Structure 1
């Protein structure tokens, strides 16, 4: 497996880890952050980018330049595992943070959206990513 193609997804995974470990006191309480359930949108967007970058990694490491169904499954599985892990870390290890199953679902929805967006980009612009 060509590890280098997954570096953007791994770096983004670290960005996610930094974001979810941020103490609640460091997050503004006004403006866009005061929108009810704004954190769910943040989870969705963070994991949509994760799904997109992970899909890109699988696509680029494929010798045929094809986005196989197994890549979709692996990407979604990676999103579920990492999304669940981040919630466990929030619940048990990050002070002032709490993990919950709804956040895991939004992590999953974001990952699936990222995979679908990648697939859509491949269909409308097949040569764009080669």
Structure 2
């Protein structure tokens, strides 16, 4: 039988990986013009935050049997992910070399978190 920690290991791992990636110095990233044209960094933020929410919702799905309670927790996870995204922008602005605050990243983080929420509701919550 799995322990509760095992249910949340993917979410914890992904949160740590996201924190690492979001705090890398700006000089660690490629500066290709074509990546800017397709807003590659925004797509990365959407993917990071969608997967962050999905990983945490999966842990809840495996550990909470009550459907209504799980939906409520999924919403809280999504809100927490958006708050995390906002706080990481401030961390980038004040503490990370060659990184700056970008409201576009916050929007992309929120879109990704919401995408993760709706995906999780569709996959993990049975009607």
TM-score range with shorter-chain normalisation? 0.7 to 0.9
**Distance in 1 separating the partners of 2:31 and 2:97:** 18
| Partner residue in 1 for 2:117 | 115
Gaps of 5+ in 2: none
Matched, 1:37 2:39: yes
The TM-score with structure 1 as length reference comes to 0.81
CA RMSD of aligned residues (A): 2.1
- TM superposition shift of 1:34: 4.2
* Pairs within 5 Å for 1:47-58: 47-58=49-60
Name which of 10, 17, 20 aligns with 1:18. Answer: 20
**Distance in 2 separating the partners of 1:24 and 1:3:** 34
Gaps of 5+ in 1: none
**Distance in 1 separating the partners of 2:92 and 2:58:** 28
| Partner residue in 1 for 2:80 | 78
Aligned residues: 122
Higher helix share: 2
Q: Check whether the contact 1:59–1:65 (CA below 8 A) recurs between aligned residues.
A: no
The TM-score with structure 2 as length reference comes to 0.82
- TM superposition shift of 1:36: 4.1
**Distance in 2 separating the partners of 1:92 and 1:61:** 37
Change (3 A) 1:122 1:32: farther
